[in-house]
């Protein structure tokens, strides 16, 4: 009789062990499928968004609009240069001056891709400044 109870305990422990091993293998399989699917996503639309932001910021710099540090001029030029399907926020931080923020929309989206970048430029009187942009599709 005692031998039968011992066999049942062994069988129960073996089944628990096998069940936990199958669970761990299943979790590894799910994680692998997730990362393979994530790696196959196309990064080009996001890269294009970042390039548009860099190009708009570069054009504002080359035209001298950023160097003017005029919120109105920068806002008008930014809206003119920015393609219709994009929204953008630009923060200008110059040494010795208060930061200036220009936005084409009220708020950035929470659940979508937001590209960002920086550009260093010289403002009036050769003051070093950093332009930080954020850009997204609306």
Q: Give the tens place of pLDDT for each residue, 93-135.
A: 998 889 999 998 878 888 888 999 999 999 887 889 999 999 9
Q: What does the pLDDT read at residue 133? A: 96
Phi-psi region of 125 (alpha: psi -120 to 50; beta: other; left: phi over 0): left
pLDDT at 3: 61
pLDDT digits (tens, 9 = 90+) for 19-31: 999 999 999 999 9
pLDDT tens figures, 51-95: 999 999 999 999 999 999 999 999 999 999 999 999 999 999 998
Contacts of 60 (CB under 8 A, 6+ apart): 66, 74, 77, 78, 81, 90, 131
């Amino acid at each position: 009789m005692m031998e039968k109870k011992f066999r049942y305990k062994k069988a129960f422990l073996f089944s628990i062990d096998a069940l936990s091993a199958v669970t761990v293998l299943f979790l590894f399989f799910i994680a692998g499928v997730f990362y393979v699917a994530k790696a196959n996503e196309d990064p080009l639309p996001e890269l294009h968004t970042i390039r548009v932001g860099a190009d708009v910021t570069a054009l504002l710099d080359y035209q001298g609009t950023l160097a003017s540090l005029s919120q109105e001029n920068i806002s008008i030029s930014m809206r003119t240069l920015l393609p219709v399907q994009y929204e953008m926020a630009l923060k200008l931080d110059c040494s010795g001056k208060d930061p200036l923020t220009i936005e084409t929309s009220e708020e950035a989206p929470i659940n979508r891709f937001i590209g960002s970048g920086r550009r260093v430029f010289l403002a009036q009187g050769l003051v070093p400044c950093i332009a930080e942009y954020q850009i997204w599709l609306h």
